Amino acid sequence: MEWWAYLAIILALLTVLFLSGLPIAFSFTLFNFIAVYFWMGGSDSFSLLAVSAFSSIVSFPLIAVPLFILMGELLFQSGVVAIVLDCVGKWLVGLRGNLALVAVTAGTLFGTMSGSAISGVAVLGSTLAPEMRKRGYSKEMSLGPILGSGCLAMIIPPSVLAVLLGSLAQIPVGDLLVSGILPGILLALVYAIYILLRIGLNRSLAPAVDERRYGWGEKLRALATMSPILTITLLIWGVLLLGVATPSEAAAIGVAGALIVMAIYRKLRWGAIRKSLVDTVKITGMIFLIIISASAFTQILAFTGTTAKLVGFASQSGWSPMLVLVAMMLTMIVLGSFLDELALLMISIPIYMPVATALQFDLVWFGLLMLLTLEIATISPPYGLALFVLKGVVPDASMGDVWKASIAYMGMSTLVLALIIAIPEIATWLPRALR
């Protein structure tokens, strides 16, 4: 059988399993058993899956995954996010559309606390969207900023997806995490500028300026209130930037910092800690099962010759490397409109990374492009996962409202993606400067 036929069957079978309603981890596992049985020697070859499962998760960088998840869960379950929203709101009051800017700012900060895009969209959607609608914001202006900024957690450290991508694709995890700082800040600034320009051109999108005013004393007190969270964020970034700690050690620092922050805010309760631990175990178990299955998937691709043939096709097709890159990114965006971001990441790593290596791309730059592409895919109509999460926590919005609100932010993210493709130093300068 030709390699392209193997690839077509693999993608078709995975798509059917994903759309069947099975959890992503179970879909991958079932596919692996089917593929091993029919292509790798029957049931006698199932022992290969056990070896693959062990080797795929015995990786020191992967320790950061449950720790970053636990840090985000602790801050979320303790209600610290509400404190952040209140403090940021005091600094931005007096601007027309200030709550939309609060969504962008809080989404950026929440990204530094949780590492989970879906959590960011869910938290901001459930807390900010109802208040924005009550004050007279249009559906576009109340939903769009939450979608865009909530997904910044995919890029800004501590990004769980960045840790997974770096660990599985053999990209230095620390460099990949650091590479997301400037693009993440750039994307947040682009969102904020768009909101100000959009409201300036159409003032009906946001209510009149809030007449409340906060003096500098109150603003400084709000900043002081938020300072423990900012300190933890800067500490995690600092140890990564200075290279004094590995990502796993930075994650451990983050967990300790989250507990200290909870104590400072008098929210260190056993109930919140217990729920955080339980949720962390559930999420980590799901992620690690997907990693195990994805590792076996990589071996199946190699056994069928698909990986080698695909690399040969990409390197000998006569296409320029940039054209191949654009084709890969567009494919991820299209597939991401239908697939969960974890599933898409696990499928794309064994297919894309050999091609990227053969074309001599900077792997840190390429990894950041993959993360940004996943962010775009997550908010892309019709089936981007963040769209359904936001619809779930904002029941008065129709799916059409959510789709419409996402288009501008998908476009801005694509523009930043194109800019980083054209100017790789936006992603690579900081990691190189700190080596």
Which H, E and C letters describe the chain, residue by residue? Answer: CCHHHHHHHHHHHHHHHHHCCCCHHHHHHHHHHHHHHHHCCHHHHHHHHHHHHHHHHCCHHHHHHHHHHHHHHHHHHCCHHHHHHHHHHHHHCCCCCHHHHHHHHHHHHHHHHHCCHHHHHHHHHHHCHHHHHHHCCCHHHHHHHHHHHHHHHHCCCCCHHHHHHHHHHCCCHHHHHHHCHHHHHHHHHHHHHHHHHHHHHCHHHCCCCCCCCCCHHHHHHHHHHHHHHHHHHHHHHHHHHHCCCCHHHHHHHHHHHHHHHHHHCCCCCHHHHHHHHHHHHHHHHHHHHHHHHHHHHHHHHHHCCHHHHHHHHHHHCCCCHHHHHHHHHHHHHHHHCCCCHHHHHHHHHHHHHHHHHHCCCCHHHHHHHHHHHHHHHHCCCCCCHHHHHHHHHCCCCCHHHHHHHHHHHHHHHHHHHHHHHHCCHHHHHHHHHCC
Indicate left, alpha or beta for 212 from its phi (over 0: left) and psi (-120 to 50: alpha): beta
Picking from 156, 190, 110, the residue whose alpha carbon sits closest to that of residue 410 is 190
| Number of domains forming the structure of the chain | 1
Picking from 161, 168, 192, the residue whose alpha carbon sits closest to that of residue 374 is 161
Picking from 27, 100, 107, 34, the residue whose alpha carbon sits closest to that of residue 347 is 27
- pTM listed for this prediction: 0.80
Q: How many residues does the chain have?
A: 435
Distance CA 245, CA 183 (A): 22
At 197 the pLDDT is: 92
The alpha carbon of residue 133 and the mean position of all alpha carbons in its chain are separated, in whole angstroms, by: 26
Whole-angstrom CA distances from 184 to 126, 357, 368 are 23, 25, 10
Picking from 117, 105, 108, the residue whose alpha carbon sits closest to that of residue 375 is 117
Indicate left, alpha or beta for 264 from its phi (over 0: left) and psi (-120 to 50: alpha): alpha
The alpha carbon of residue 387 and the mean position of all alpha carbons in its chain are separated, in whole angstroms, by: 14
Picking from 125, 421, 77, 432, the residue whose alpha carbon sits closest to that of residue 261 is 77
Distance CA 276, CA 73 (A): 5
Distance CA 153, CA 113 (A): 8
Would the CA dihedral through 64, 70, 73, 78 be positive or negative? negative
**Amino acid in position 143:** L
Domain that holds residue 78: 3-433
Determine the longest span between alpha carbons in the chain, in angstroms: 74
- Half-sphere CA count of 324, side-chain side, radius 13 A: 24
At 297 the pLDDT is: 73
At 408 the pLDDT is: 92
Distance CA 56, CA 295 (A): 6
At 71 the pLDDT is: 83
pLDDT tens for each residue of the chain, 435 residues long: 676 677 788 778 877 876 677 776 777 778 878 887 787 767 766 776 676 666 666 777 778 888 888 887 887 777 776 777 777 777 777 677 788 888 888 778 777 766 667 677 877 777 778 878 887 888 888 888 888 887 888 888 878 888 888 888 889 888 998 999 999 999 999 999 999 999 888 888 887 766 566 777 888 888 888 888 888 888 888 887 777 888 888 888 888 988 998 888 888 888 888 988 998 888 788 778 777 777 777 777 777 776 667 667 666 666 788 888 988 888 888 777 666 677 778 778 888 888 888 888 999 999 999 999 988 888 888 767 788 778 877 878 888 888 898 999 999 999 999 999 999 999 999 998 876
